[in-house]
Chains A and B, each alone.
Chain A
Amino acid sequence: MPLAPAIETNELRKVFGDNAAVKSLTLQIQQGEVFGFLGPNGAGKTTSIKMLVGLIAPTSGTACLLGAPLGNRITRARIGFLPEHFRFQDWLTAREFLTLHGELFGMEHSRLAAYTDDLLERVGLSTFRDKPLVTFSKGMLQRIGLAQALLNHPALVFLDEPTSGLDPVGRILVRDIIRELREQGTCVFLNSHLLSEIEVTCDRVAFISHGEVIRLLDLAALDTGQVTVTLRVTGLSQETASGLSTWAEAIHLDGNHLTLTARNEETLPEINRYLVTHGVAVYEIAPKHVSLEELFIETVGKEGGL
């Protein structure tokens, strides 16, 4: 029997007053997938996550998590969640905090004690295990929040801006943890506006704007092989430049700068050879892959969610 999708939403909608925070969200995310949820501020990302984890009730539409309709209590035992504004019970120590949340997950005490220590080690907080959270920095709180979200060995984890408070070391840690989760077959729903973050961790991304998915992108397929190149040259005529159309398209010459999109990286030596044989002096060839950031701007527009 095929696995039920990790997340399946159908025209999910949330209206606050007369403002539709999420217009109509339709998504299907498979188990084991690492899915990036991208959008400018105010696009409805957090509202969408809050609907999915059961913090707010949708105005209309339906959704299933791991095959069960939203709000199913038993399914919640298989879901982890790191909220955006990670504020926790700061009067507890790190270990007590994880024990409390493990108990709320319904985990057995005997299993919990050993696992809590492992997790604290994993997020780099084992030396702070008996320190109260009130003494923790923002980054440390983010780490303990992440540990809390992974406590129940979830099949599906929602991470809302998991790296927002973290320094580069913390970001690498989050990236590694997401990679491990993928290897374990856990579905990760990652909400972030750090595009480089998404680019290295996610299998697929959805761009959302004004509470609607405007583009779905398979990041593996994003690498089509096409490469945009900028060359610094002298002695290039428009005519010679036009001759490059054998290997490339979108050829544009601006003074000494030539930009073009080559079919693939292997054609670059041929382009160079062609230019040299036509008497062009080539000083620099800089290939540039199309980044998620460019796609984001292209899709959402420069004004973002404003």
Chain B
Amino acid sequence: MSPIFILARMTFVQAIRRRIVLTGLLLGICFLVIFSIGFRMINTSTIGAVTPGGGEGIQHIIDTEKSSGLFLAGLYAVTFLGIAMAALLGADTLAGEINSGTIQVIVTKPIRRSDVVFGKWLGFAGLLGLYLLLLAGGTALSILVQSGYVAPHLVAGLALIYLESLLVMTVAMLFSSRFSALATGGVVFGLYGLAFIGGWIEQIGAVLNSQTAVQVGILTSLIIPSESLWRRAAYEMQSPLSGLLGISPFGATSVPSLLMVGYAVVYLLAVLALTVRVFQKRDL
């Protein structure tokens, strides 16, 4: 078996044994239960009930908008949980093992240091995939069962959210290959915050037709394109009507282009390559 897969499996088993996955699962299930109850209460409330003279068509539009809005709100929370998980996993992995010394008996085996980085990355990618599938899939399923609503471009949207969590995890691994876990956590959440604020500046700028604000947003997306992936995902999955109505907390007004998605992929690969390079040079 290739050392990359041996280490990916090790990383996966480690996360399960160290109860990281269990904690994540419990929180995820809590989230799904609360979300489902909340959705049920809103869905069965009288707000938006058919007014006399109103057609079934209008009722349908209102129901769809309600489901769509709540679905995106739910996914927004799921995305945040996924990013937190990605940042924590990535921040601790190399820094933690270098600090404790467990890395010493790994890298002195007849393997490449890049195998260690790729193996860990692959293990975490598998974990994050399952985690997001459970949470985002659960959210979509809950809405489907309760209201019959399925968001447009669901698969593309979820793939973008997954890409965002992979991006954050990879950035965390880069800093983790050089700095302590705590410093890495600080830097990664700082970058995430920067992207978040940049995204909002871009959105508000778009509504107010401020080209400068939009450019500031794009600039922060170039520094770290995580938030723009969420906005592209939200754009893909929003109902056509909300797209027309403009700004909403969970939708997208200034839509990141496909070029930005491509940039995010290249960015991720470049950060991964840099992680390998930094880790190769590092005295352990």
Secondary structure dominating the interface of B: helix
Do residues A81 and B108 form an inter-chain contact, with CB atoms below 8 A? yes
Residue in contact with B108 in the complex, picked from A53, A87, A145, CB distance below 8 Å? A53
Contacts of A91 in B (CB 8 A): 13-14, 17-18
Contacts of B284 in A (CB 8 A): 50, 55-56
> Number of B interface residues, CB 8 Å?
24
Does residue A13 face the partner (Cβ distance < 8 Å to B)? no
Do residues B17 and A148 form an inter-chain contact, with CB atoms below 8 A? no
Interface segment, A30-38, A100-108, A248-256, A258-266? A100-108
Does residue A302 face the partner (Cβ distance < 8 Å to B)? no
Contacts of B112 in A (CB 8 A): 73
Does residue A83 face the partner (Cβ distance < 8 Å to B)? yes
Contacts of B110 in A (CB 8 A): 73-77, 104-106
Does residue A94 face the partner (Cβ distance < 8 Å to B)? no
Contacts of A278 in B (CB 8 A): none
Interface string of A51-92 (1 = CB under 8 A from B): 001111100000000000000011111010101011111011
CA A39 to CA B6, docked complex, whole Å: 38
CA A163 to CA B56, docked complex, whole Å: 82
Residue in contact with B102 in the complex, picked from A73, A87, A105, CB distance below 8 Å? A87
Residue in contact with A105 in the complex, picked from B1, B7, B109, B281, CB distance below 8 Å? B109
Given A89-B10, A104-B3, A104-B106; 12 other pairs, CB 8 A cutoff: A50-B284, A55-B104, A55-B107, A56-B284, A57-B283, A73-B112, A83-B105, A87-B102, A92-B17, A100-B6, A101-B105, A104-B111
On A, residues with C-beta under 8 Å from B are 50, 53-57, 73-77, 79, 81, 83, 85-89, 91-92, 100-101, 103-106, 145, 148
Instruction: List 23 A–B pairs whose Cβ atoms lie within 8 Å, in order of A's numbering.
Output: A55-B104, A55-B283, A57-B283, A73-B110, A73-B111, A75-B110, A81-B108, A83-B104, A86-B101, A87-B100, A87-B102, A89-B10, A89-B14, A89-B102, A91-B14, A91-B17, A91-B18, A92-B13, A92-B17, A104-B6, A104-B110, A105-B109, A105-B110
